[in-house]
Amino acid sequence: MMSSSLILQLNADELCQSAELSVEYLLEIVEYGILQPSGQTPAEWLFDAGALVVVKRALRLRRDLDLEWAGIALALELMAELEQLRHENSQLKQRLSRFEQP
Q: Is residue 83 part of a domain?
A: yes
Predicted pLDDT of residue 98: 87
Containing structural domain, residue 47: 9-97
Number of separate domains in the chain = 1
Q: Is residue 4 part of a domain?
A: no
**Among 78, 48, 52, 73, which Cα is nearest to 61's?**
73
* pTM of the predicted protein model: 0.78
Q: Which of 7-11, 55-59, 84-88 has the lowest mean pLDDT?
A: 7-11
Q: Is residue 59 part of a domain?
A: yes
State how far the Cα of 50 lies from the Cα of 97, in Å rounded to an integer.
33
- Average pLDDT estimate for 90-101: 89
Q: Which percentage of the chain shows pLDDT scores above 90?
A: 85
CATH of the domain at 39: 1.10.1660.10
Chain segment 65-92, per-residue pLDDT in tens: 999 999 999 999 999 999 999 999 999 9
* 100 band by pLDDT with thresholds 50, 70 and 90: confident
